[in-house]
Chain A
Amino acid sequence: MGIVNLVFGRVVDIVLLPFRGASPWFGLATVSLLTALLMLEVYKLTSNQAAIRRAKDRIKAHLLELRLFQDSMRVTLRAQAAILKANLSYLTANLKPLLVMIVPLFLILAQLGLWFDRAPLRPGEETLVKVGLEENADPVSIPMELETSSGLEIASPAVRIPDEHEVAWRLKATAAGPGRLTLRVGGLTLVKSVAVGGKSLTKVSPLASRGSLWKQALYPGERALPAGTPVRSIEILYPAKNLSIFGLRVHWLVAYLILSIAFGLAFKGVLKVEV
């Protein structure tokens, strides 16, 4: 999984490199455009284009039938049933490309989450660092020490919450730049990156985990935590990234969805893809 994350991560990093100083919309639009083009090609290659065209034609035909035979209840009812049937055929014809696309899309979305979901800490801003432990680990008795790199400081002593199997610190950013937290547990050392300040488009990894493949895929920003400690994850509660248009806050996923669909629609004719 690490290699896959590395490859996808590098690709997204390169694509977004020119847009780091600009409004996040530029980067999001570019990624949306590229994924739309890529997915259109994938869709074209993996789908039965003729079946999709046929199903769409049938839907359109029966919609026209509703208008042409509006005086005939019998025909309109049959047309409605036919539309639903053709719609089902259409969805069935979409299953294969959908299954093929779901994996790379998920990995791309996870990478985009690092760039667009959370904002880095601002100098002077405080937040929580949470260390999640194994179910059988007792946070009270385990010796644990958190160290910071320059630009960061621990603002409060550790709070140990046995019910949650969690230890939390209050962290304060004091200067901009990439920072690092070092957690010493027993004889082992775990490292977690911290983003403070930086350009408007900065990669932020909120969680480092040792968990399942699923967690690694979902949080691809850092290497998996090593085994041999009771620590399951280290999480920094970054503030949400503010993406707005005309004064309205928009979730990046919604914006990405709309943009990629818009680009897809615009280019499906050029790429001759029946969608």
Chain B
Amino acid sequence: MKKAGFVFAAGTLLALAAPLAAYIGPGAGFAFLSSFLVLFLTFLMALFSFLSWPFRFLWKALRGRRAYKKSSIHRLVVLGLDGMEPTLAEKFMAEGKLPNLARLKKEGTYARLKTTTPAISPVAWSSFMTGSEPSKHNIFDFLSRDPRTYLPDLSSARIGKPKRTVALGKYLIPISKPEIRGMRKSVPFWKILGEKGIFSTVLRVPITFPPEKFKGHLLSGMCAPDLKGSQGTFAFFTEDADKVRRHEGGVAVLVAREGNRIRTEISGPENTLLKKPEEMRLPLAITIDEEAKGAWLEIQGQKKFLLKEKTFSPWVPIAFRPGLGMKIRAICKFYIVALEPKFEMYMTPLNIDPEKPALPISHPFIYSVYLSKLLGRFITLGEANDTWALNEGALDEKAFLELTYANHAEWEAMFWNALSKTPRGMVAIVFETTDSIQHMFFRYLDKAHPALKAAPARMSAAVIEELYKKMDDLVGRVAATLDEKSVLFVMSDHGFKSFRRGVNLNSWLHQNGYLTLVEGKKESAEWFKDVDWDRTKAYGLGLGGIYLNLKGREARGIVAAGAECGALKAELVRKLTALKDGANGPAAVTNVYDRDAVYSGPYKENAPDLIIGYNEGYRASWDGVTGIVNAVVIDDNTKAWSGDHCIDPALVPGVLFSNLKIKTASPSIMDIAPTVLELFGLTPPAHMDGRGLVDVAGLPGAKKRKPS
């Protein structure tokens, strides 16, 4: 009331003063000019909107009628909870802790959802969106390999330099666009919906970078890179030289204190404008303020702000200047882990600034700008939650959870915005919160986990229970917004199990004579540095793949295709399925899948020759995944990353909840896409492997469809 009075009085004063003063300064001048411009623009748009409304209404009615002519529903919401484990969901439901999911189960559907082979998020979500098995969408793991070099590649996208450049002094000026190519093939179901005029909003679904054009809005999810082009490189500034030496992930920066001041640098992306590319850096000055229990951060001598110890900064926009007046913008958060005795500070990976994206992260391009302006800056990195920072000790568990839930809140805000603006059509979102927290806290559910012996427990199983309750609450809030013509699918791409022991496939292959090291070497450094390819028959790469060193395919292949290849595969399958953890220990591998038996699509040739189905409690070891060969085949996993799903797919199905009844007891993740299409009255394309889950004809108010 007081404020309103002030506003009124000030307004009156200004109105009276206006004719006298006419003009009241540049600042206020801009304000009034901008305001006038906005009013003018809004008026014009409103006028255009009203005048064109009859035509648009007519067009929409004609098109819309066609689009929704056969649709049984108005709106479909897919709420993806990456990695939600069915046994945990069932347990918590039985205990009455997930009332909203339990209601969906009671009134609609609950089933375990068959995942893909392998049970890895990029693979499973690609099958979700295309309705196809992996050899039809070409995603088999996070990593693929280059058979010419035996080195890993990111499986989902290629980001290359521009093909055409012009040299100017020390610069190479690009005159063509850089190559940004998605590697996922086949067609996502929202593209098919769009072709029929049905609008979709797709948020953070994995393997949607680079974004594809379709009728709708999309914000890329898992596999969207950071500004350095990596899948997330955090920085850790520390005065502790030991920690710098020990670090495995991210960038560890050794800093020195002079008085209360630390001068260091933020490591940025490579400057590809230069003929000799070099890393761009921004000066970072840190002034420790003991009284304030924090530090003043000054980036590039400009942005200065106080950051309290153990508090996350908001998103800080920063800009790198590669030259020629260009700016590459990023956003990051800072967190002071400790001021004393040694200063330690974490910095998130440099996220692409959604307000001024250096790479396309949304469709249309302005969608991320819109979200950022409306809801504030948000995390854009695909692998958003910094699990590796917790693994490395750059963040503690409490800070990790705080950061993860802050990311989650940003996605929720986008989700609610999309729901409020999509009364008809499809909204899909995938929250990776469930996946990240389970990866990092699963050991608290497994009292025998080696990580609990290696480091004292600071938290408890309540973290995961709390996570499930939060997700249940979200489901409840979403369900409350649905009308009788809306459909909700709550699903996960796979489940979760404890990851106690790591299996180094490359060490096993070496010990069993399939992988040979160069003379004099007993171990190999990362990425097969010391492997003698001329005497190697097979190698493991990624989270569960074995590739044969095939003649004509691999650069230095020695295994002939055909009978020799078949015999080698059979031998490996036999031996690996017999692999025990100790003489009388449990089997480490329950199944080995031959790609020729499980895949039939056009990209089968890009798949690993064998896919390892690890037993519960096992997974590819940290060393094995990165191509290290050593004397240890199976060892304890003592990292905080203590839960996983990259095991035998039969052991880690996902979950499927819906407010609709489904007609099968064993749905597959590939069934979602055809089901969505059928609910909107469309016939799924023949290449989809999934089958519709819902008896559409039996739905209330269902429209009759001609059989296709």
Interface residues of A (CB under 8 A from B): 35-36, 39-40, 42-43, 47, 56-77, 80, 83-84, 87, 90-92, 94-95, 97-99, 101-102, 105-106, 109, 253, 256-257, 260-261, 263-265, 268, 272-273, 275
Q: Are B373 and A57 in contact (CB under 8 A)?
A: yes
Instruction: Determine which of B31, B39, B49 lies in contact with A98 in the assembled complex, contact meaning CB atoms within 8 Å.
Output: B31
Q: Are B35 and A43 in contact (CB under 8 A)?
A: no
| Distance to closest chain B CB from A127 (angstroms) | 26
B367 nearest CB neighbor, chain A only = A68
Known: A60-B373, A63-B41, A105-B21. Is A264-B28 also a contact (CB below 8 A)? Answer: no
B36 nearest CB neighbor, chain A only = A87
What are 29 contact pairs spanning A and B, CB under 8 A?
A: A35-B25, A35-B26, A39-B27, A42-B25, A43-B28, A61-B370, A61-B374, A63-B45, A68-B370, A71-B60, A74-B423, A75-B421, A77-B49, A80-B49, A83-B42, A87-B35, A87-B39, A87-B42, A95-B7, A95-B11, A97-B27, A97-B28, A98-B14, A98-B24, A98-B25, A98-B31, A99-B14, A261-B26, A263-B26
Tell me, yes or no, whether B30 is within 8 Å of chain A by CB.
Answer: yes
- How many angstroms between the C-alpha atoms of A263 and B29 in the bound complex? 12
Nearest first, the 9 A-B pairs at minimum CB distance are: A43-B27, A264-B26, A61-B374, A61-B373, A64-B370, A94-B31, A98-B28, A57-B373, A39-B25
Q: Are A90 and B31 in contact (CB under 8 A)?
A: yes
Known: A67-B366, A84-B42, A99-B13. Is A273-B7 also a contact (CB below 8 A)? Answer: no
Q: Are A58 and B373 in contact (CB under 8 A)?
A: yes
- How many angstroms between the C-alpha atoms of A67 and B42 in the bound complex? 12
A32 nearest CB neighbor, chain B only = B26
Known: A68-B366, A73-B53. Is A59-B25 also a contact (CB below 8 A)? Answer: no
18 more A-B contacts (CB under 8 A) besides A75-B421, A99-B10?
A36-B26, A58-B374, A61-B370, A63-B45, A64-B369, A68-B217, A69-B421, A72-B421, A80-B42, A80-B46, A87-B35, A94-B31, A98-B24, A102-B21, A102-B28, A257-B23, A261-B30, A268-B30
Tell me, yes or no, whether B697 is within 8 Å of chain A by CB.
Answer: no
Q: Are A76 and B49 in contact (CB under 8 A)?
A: yes
- How many angstroms between the C-alpha atoms of A65 and B31 in the bound complex? 22
Tell me, yes or no, whether B56 is within 8 Å of chain A by CB.
Answer: yes
Interface of B is mostly: helix
- Residues of chain A within 8 A (CB-CB) of B364 are 68
Which residue of B7, B367, B373 has the most chain A CB atoms within 10 A of its CB atom? B373
- How many angstroms between the C-alpha atoms of A126 and B228 in the bound complex? 76
Known: A68-B367, A102-B17. Is A273-B374 also a contact (CB below 8 A)? Answer: no
- How many angstroms between the C-alpha atoms of A84 and B39 in the bound complex? 7
- How many angstroms between the C-alpha atoms of A24 and B42 in the bound complex? 39
Instruction: Determine which of B17, B199, B373 lies in contact with A64 in the assembled complex, contact meaning CB atoms within 8 Å.
Output: B373
Tell me, yes or no, whether B518 is within 8 Å of chain A by CB.
Answer: no
A88 nearest CB neighbor, chain B only = B35
| Distance to closest chain B CB from A61 (angstroms) | 4
Instruction: Give per-residue flags for B198-239: 1 if the beta carbon is below 8 A from chain A beta carbons, else 0.
Output: 010000000000000000010000000000000000000000
- How many angstroms between the C-alpha atoms of A68 and B56 in the bound complex? 15
- Residues of chain A within 8 A (CB-CB) of B60 are 71
| Distance to closest chain A CB from B356 (angstroms) | 12
Which residue of B28, B33, B35, B53 has the most chain A CB atoms within 10 A of its CB atom? B28
Q: Are B374 and A261 in contact (CB under 8 A)?
A: no
Interface residue ranges of B54-92 to A (CB < 8 Å):
56-57, 60
Tell me, yes or no, whether B22 is within 8 Å of chain A by CB.
Answer: yes
| Distance to closest chain B CB from A136 (angstroms) | 28
- How many angstroms between the C-alpha atoms of A90 and B36 in the bound complex? 11
Q: Are B57 and A73 in contact (CB under 8 A)?
A: yes
Q: Are B31 and A91 in contact (CB under 8 A)?
A: yes
Tell me, yes or no, whether B159 is within 8 Å of chain A by CB.
Answer: no
Interface of A is mostly: helix
Which residue of B27, B28, B369 has the most chain A CB atoms within 10 A of its CB atom? B27
Tell me, yes or no, whether B34 is within 8 Å of chain A by CB.
Answer: yes
- How many angstroms between the C-alpha atoms of A138 and B587 in the bound complex? 120
- Residues of chain A within 8 A (CB-CB) of B461 are none
- How many angstroms between the C-alpha atoms of A105 and B23 in the bound complex? 8
| Distance to closest chain B CB from A162 (angstroms) | 30
- How many angstroms between the C-alpha atoms of A65 and B14 in the bound complex? 32
Q: Are A91 and B27 in contact (CB under 8 A)?
A: no
| Distance to closest chain A CB from B138 (angstroms) | 31
- Residues of chain A within 8 A (CB-CB) of B57 are 73
- How many angstroms between the C-alpha atoms of A80 and B24 in the bound complex? 28
| Distance to closest chain A CB from B150 (angstroms) | 45
Q: Are A261 and B33 in contact (CB under 8 A)?
A: yes
- Residues of chain B within 8 A (CB-CB) of A58 are 373-374
- How many angstroms between the C-alpha atoms of A240 and B201 in the bound complex? 63
- How many angstroms between the C-alpha atoms of A82 and B182 in the bound complex? 37
- How many angstroms between the C-alpha atoms of A90 and B30 in the bound complex? 11
Tell me, yes or no, whether B38 is within 8 Å of chain A by CB.
Answer: yes
- Residues of chain B within 8 A (CB-CB) of A95 are 7, 10-11, 14
A54 nearest CB neighbor, chain B only = B376
Which residue of B13, B26, B42 has the most chain A CB atoms within 10 A of its CB atom? B26
Known: A63-B41, A64-B373, A95-B7. Is A264-B35 also a contact (CB below 8 A)? Answer: no
| Distance to closest chain B CB from A107 (angstroms) | 11
| Distance to closest chain A CB from B306 (angstroms) | 15
- How many angstroms between the C-alpha atoms of A109 and B25 in the bound complex? 10
- How many angstroms between the C-alpha atoms of A109 and B29 in the bound complex? 14
- How many angstroms between the C-alpha atoms of A59 and B45 in the bound complex? 13
- Residues of chain A within 8 A (CB-CB) of B22 are 253
B373 nearest CB neighbor, chain A only = A61
- Residues of chain A within 8 A (CB-CB) of B41 are 63
Q: Are B30 and A87 in contact (CB under 8 A)?
A: no
B49 nearest CB neighbor, chain A only = A76
| Distance to closest chain B CB from A57 (angstroms) | 4
- How many angstroms between the C-alpha atoms of A72 and B421 in the bound complex? 8
- Residues of chain B within 8 A (CB-CB) of A61 are 370, 373-374
B43 nearest CB neighbor, chain A only = A80
- Residues of chain B within 8 A (CB-CB) of A263 are 26
- Residues of chain A within 8 A (CB-CB) of B366 are 64, 67-68
Q: Are A101 and B25 in contact (CB under 8 A)?
A: yes
- Residues of chain A within 8 A (CB-CB) of B31 are 90-91, 94, 98, 275
Q: Are A94 and B28 in contact (CB under 8 A)?
A: yes
| Distance to closest chain B CB from A251 (angstroms) | 10
- Residues of chain A within 8 A (CB-CB) of B25 are 35, 39, 42-43, 98, 101-102, 105, 260
- How many angstroms between the C-alpha atoms of A67 and B34 in the bound complex? 20
- How many angstroms between the C-alpha atoms of A139 and B63 in the bound complex? 84
- Residues of chain B within 8 A (CB-CB) of A90 are 31, 34-35, 38
B45 nearest CB neighbor, chain A only = A66
Instruction: Determine which of B24, B33, B34 lies in contact with A102 in the assembled complex, contact meaning CB atoms within 8 Å.
Output: B24
Q: Are A264 and B29 in contact (CB under 8 A)?
A: yes
